DNA sequence: ATCGGTGCAAAACATTTGCAAAATA
DNA sequence: TATTTTGCAAATGTTTTGCACCGAT
């Protein structure tokens, strides 16, 4: 974990739960920790798996319910990178406006921001008579290095690396 | 159906299936017709329902499999408007670069295009070393009319209208 | 006769929910 | 004690799959 220390994140979560009159139980803390300890995007089921391997524990139901709470708090966001899979992204806490670029070859996910893009999106939205509340841009592309050199840093001996995690830019 | 006549669409589908050495059976034609007869976004299960009500028929399995073929052909696109629901959009045939704006109040979906946005997205992508293959921008917003006047054309006596269909802009 | 293609029913998943027991303010 | 929260297991809902049969070349 880097920028906002895990401790700060846990504090924010605790504050949110408290503001709703909810308890920050050890299960909820464990789930929150597991989510924000890395920058990895995750599927709920993967989180269950991860938690099972850790020293703490929480039932599947609790994990799903905690995820919903964290989404409601705005700390966690559901994203969709295609395939109808429900994926969660813990990185909006550090970069609230980031977008996703996915390499179609190696599935690497690059997170990026661009203020100009944001501005333009705002204009377009307002021109249509709406006030934007949330924007999600997903770009799929082919890595130039791979196309030109036949390999890229995410390819391992010709085999694309399956990655759910993300890289910041 | 308007622009590309249904007949033309069916022809294109047939050509695709043929190019793959596959047959354009009456079930596949029925599914294709049902999909492209309107501009509605749909969930596979809804399509099953629609087909059950029509005079033609195809099993659930066939419907799912045909959808996959049509996506592969590029005629149909999977989109995600949040909530992890798998939705399909038949409108990329007419407007290959459109994006989606969803009203958070009434869930109306507005499809829109903007060449400048496309250009900017291209630049950003290339700057990161990628060649874009596909882009999906989803904006959620609040309709100004509703916010200012307390009502909007999609609200029916205060109750938001649930809409899966789309409006072109 | 040979390949697909179809339809059924089962399987595979992911997610939600009801409820009794446990934990906590 | 009152109220949440948890965990289990069952229910739900969607999508995929195996397989026997059907149909077209």
Q: Smallest Cα–Cα separation from B139: which of A84, A127, A92, A90? A: A127
Q: Domain check: are A130 and A90 in the same one?
A: no
Model-level pTM?
0.87
- Three-class SS state of A36: helix
| CATH for B5 | 1.10.10.10
B108 and B25 in a single domain? The answer is no
Residue A162: band (very low, low, confident or very high) from pLDDT cuts 50, 70, 90: very low
Q: What is the mean pLDDT of chain A?
A: 87
Place of tokens 């049902």: B34
**B130 Cβ under 8 Å from any chain A Cβ:** yes
Q: How far is CA B48 from CA B37, B61, B81, B166, in A?
A: 15, 10, 20, 20
Q: What is the mean pLDDT of residues A18-24?
A: 96
Q: How far is CA B75 from CA A48, A81, A126, B85, in A?
A: 37, 20, 30, 20
Instruction: Tally the domains of chain B.
Output: 2
Question: Given A125, A140, A141, which is nearest B101 (Cβ)?
Answer: A125
How sure is the predictor about A163, in pLDDT bands with cuts at 50, 70 and 90? Answer: very low
> Which stretches of chain B drop beneath a pLDDT of 70?
1-3, 152-169
Structure tokens at B136: 């999906």
A74 and A103 inside one domain:
no
CB contact A121 to B (< 8 Å): yes
Domain coverage including residue A103: 97-169
Q: Do A105 and A89 fall into the same domain?
A: no
Residue whose pair of structure tokens reads 């269909």 in the numeric block: B165
| Cα distances (Å, whole numbers) of residue A152 to A105, A108, A144, A148, A156 | 10, 11, 8, 9, 8
Alpha carbon of B111: minimum distance to chain A alpha carbons (Å): 10
Closest CA to B72 of B110, B22, B143: B22
Last residue of a domain, one of B44, B61, B95: B95
Could you tell me if A72 and A112 lie in one domain? no
Per-residue pLDDT reduced to its tens digit, A41-90:
999 999 999 999 999 999 999 999 999 999 999 999 999 887 778 999 99
pLDDT digits (tens, 9 = 90+) for B117-134: 999 999 999 999 999 999
pLDDT of residue B61: 97
Pairwise pLDDT comparison (A126 vs A4), residue with the higher score: A126
Nearest protein residue to nucleotide C23, judged by CA and C1' positions: A25
- Distance (Å) from the C-alpha of residue A74 to the closest C-alpha of chain B? 15
Same structural domain, B7 and B69? yes
Alpha carbons A67 and B35: distance in angstroms, whole number: 35
């Amino acid at each position: 974990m880097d920028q906002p220390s895990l401790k700060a994140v846990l504090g924010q979560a605790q504050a949110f739960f408290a503001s709703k009159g909810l308890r920050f139980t050890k299960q909820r803390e464990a789930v929150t920790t597991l989510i924000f300890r890395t920058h990895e995007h995750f599927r709920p089921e993967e989180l269950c798996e991860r938690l099972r391997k850790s020293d703490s524990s929480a039932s599947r139901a609790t994990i799903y319910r905690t995820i919903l709470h964290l989404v409601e708090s705005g700390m966690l966001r559901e994203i969709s990178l295609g395939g109808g899979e429900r994926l969660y992204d813990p990185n909006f806490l550090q970069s609230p406006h980031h977008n996703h670029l996915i390499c179609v070859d190696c599935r690497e996910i690059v997170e990026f921001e661009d203020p100009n893009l944001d501005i333009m999106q705002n204009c377009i939205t307002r021109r249509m008579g709406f006030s934007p509340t949330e924007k999600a841009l997903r770009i799929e592309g082919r890595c130039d290095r791979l196309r030109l050199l036949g390999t890229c840093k995410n390819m391992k001996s010709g085999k694309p690396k399956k990655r759910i995690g993300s890289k910041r830019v």
